[in-house]
Amino acid sequence: MCGILGVSGLDGASRIAQLGLYALQHRGQESAGIVAVDPAGQARVHRGMGLVSDVFSESRLAQLTGDVAVGHARYSTAGSTVLANAQPYLVNYHEGPLSVAHNGNLTNATALREELVRAGAIFQSSSDTEVLIHLIARSSAPTVESQIRDALEQVEGACTVVISAGRTLYAAVDSRGFRPLVWGRIGQGVVIASETCALDLVGATDLAELAPGDFVRIEDGLVTQLAPLAPRPRSRCIFELVYFARPDSRIFDRSVDGARRELGRALARHHAAPGADVVFSVPDSANVMALGYSEVSGVKLEHALIRNHYVGRTFIHPTQSLRVAKVKIKFNPVREIIAGRSVVVIDDSLVRGTTSKGLVQMIRGAGAREVHLRLGSPPITGPCHYGIDTPTSDELIAANHSTEAIREYLGVDTLEYLTLDEMVDAAGPRTGWCHACFSGAYPTEIPTDLARHRHDAPPMAASA
């Protein structure tokens, strides 16, 4: 998964991009990069592995001069943690310097790549984003704008992008609208980003959101709406609201905090644990869900799991045993809250079950009398092909086990999930969501070998 960002018409654009990327760090911790374009049209890039704070020293930033910038923070699927896949990509094509920051996964990238290779294209990596660049560069359309449009119309899947071509920025959200993109103004300039929390940090105002299919041009801080991309049924990623986005953001025209709180309220309404003494969350993504649960059920809210915030995900390719150890590094229970009590533990989702199993052992070890686990989403039964880093089906515990078998494995007294309908109701409108990882209803065609490609591909393979 990734966070992307663009700046136009603001001196010191790379510094603004760096600040914005700090606020998008939760969307990707493996690598970060910024391209800056100066008034003469010269583009410079710096990309590195690790957190935004590790990648950009003062001297690096000082070299990234200009009033236009594109930024990216990346988290990839396994096997692709290499600098070659760090974004934004910067290339020189026939119209000048072109940089691309992409959030999402394309579902027809393999087919498009094969066609391009047959036509003579040479690839540096196996990332989806490079496919997009080749499509732009090889388009026979007459203008930069129409070349980009041509490429965007050919790709399937999740494609939210910020692109610089010369000194002009282009931004687009694919017509299904899987991933968010918002923008705001700073004086005469414009900042565009994956989430509003990045716009807040840089002091942008007059915030607005790109709708699915929106395609805009930004020149010297002036935003021009271009003709939208060909319409498709909407499929906003509901997991952005459940887990991924920050609660202080507004995306998909709603508050993430509000949606997540509503998920917690729905848990209390439909899946209460009678006789419980306290409720607490697995921090941080489920914090507001626990608030919602407490508000509706009247069960006292506590902070019983303390999270160590200094444990990064950078460079870790977790094996199963490492993951169990990681639970202890990451969380510790407060015994005084838990001992002798019947507790409700709220988490947003269950993926492999390893974190939860470790946590339950910890909570039992702290003396809990009863443990009732509640999940603010339904069982995850399939991988995401649109950019969320979920494992393949064989690693997803709910893909292969009944709820009762999972309850037993985790060692909890009761285990309940929100149903698909309950989750969708809590999120807002009834339609327009992608919930394929829960329902199996993938909104695009999925080539049969796609999941295998993503996870078994050589070290250069990438998702954005």
Give the catalytic positions in this structure: 2
Q: Which is nearer to ligand AMP, 138 or 352 (CB)?
A: 352
Binding residues among 362-401 for ligand AMP as defined by CB under 6 A = 388-390
Contact criterion met (CB below 8 Å) for 280 and 347? no
Backbone dihedral angles phi then psi of residue 230, each to the nearest 5 degrees: -55, 130
Q: Write phi, then psi, for 404 (nearest 5 degrees).
A: -65, -40
Q: Please identify, using beta-carbon distances, which residue of 112 and 388 lies nearer to ligand AMP.
A: 388
Task: Return the number of the residue (50 or 228) whose C-beta is nearest ligand AMP.
Answer: 50
User: Smaller CB distance to ligand AMP: residue 51 or 98?
Assistant: 51
Does residue 49 bind ligand AMP (CB under 6 A)?
A: no
Identified binder of ligand AMP from the candidate list 348, 366, 372, 437, rule CB under 6 A: 348
Q: Binding ligand AMP by CB under 6 A: which of 77, 356, 444, 463?
A: 356
Neighbouring-strand partners of residue 460? none
Report the DSSP pairing between strands 215-219 and 331-333.
Answer: unpaired
DSSP notation for 230-298: PP----EEHHIIIIIS-TT-EETTEEHHHHHHHHHHHHHHHS--TT--EEEE-TTTTHHHHHHHHHHH-
Q: Note whether 86 binds ligand AMP by CB under 6 A.
A: no
Residues 127, 41: Cα–Cα separation, whole Å? 26
Which of 243, 277, 334, 425 forms a contact with ligand AMP (CB under 6 A)? 243
Instruction: Examine residue 355 and tell whether it contacts ligand AMP (CB under 6 A).
Output: yes
30 near ligand AMP (CB under 6 A) = no
Query: CA neighbours within 13 Å on the CB side: how many for 112?
Result: 24
Residues paired with 191 in a beta bridge: 7, 184
Q: Which is nearer to ligand AMP, 4 or 64 (CB)?
A: 4
Of 112-120, 132-140, 264-272, 349-357, the segment contacting ligand AMP by CB under 6 A is 349-357
Task: Indicate the residue among 184 and 333 with the shorter CB distance to ligand AMP.
Answer: 333
- What is the closest distance, in whole angstroms, from the C-beta atom of residue 268 to ligand AMP in the complex? 19
Smallest separation, CB 352 to ligand AMP (Å): 4
Candidate ranges 329-337, 354-362, 412-420, 424-432; the one touching ligand AMP (CB under 6 A)? 354-362
Backbone angles phi, psi at 288, to 5 degrees: -75, -25
Residue 411 buriedness (CB in 10 A; 0-12 / 13-18 / 19+): middle
Region of 102-110, 117-125, 348-356, 364-372 interacting with ligand AMP (CB under 6 A) = 348-356
Distance from CA of residue 44 to its chain's centroid?
Answer: 26
**Which parts of 376-439 are beta strand (E)?**
414-417, 433-434
At residue 269's C-alpha, the angle toward residues 402 and 178, to 5°, is: 65
Q: Work out whether 232 is an interface residue with ligand AMP (CB under 6 A).
A: no
Site membership for ligand AMP, residue 354 (CB under 6 A): yes
Q: Does 48 bind ligand AMP (CB under 6 A)?
A: no
Number of residues interacting with ligand AMP: please give it, by CB under 6 A: 16
Helix and strand element counts for the chain (H, E): 18, 26
Residue 352 interacting with ligand AMP (CB under 6 A): yes
282 binds ligand AMP (CB under 6 A): yes
Write out the residues near ligand AMP by the rule CB under 6 A. Answer: 243, 282, 285, 347-356, 388-390
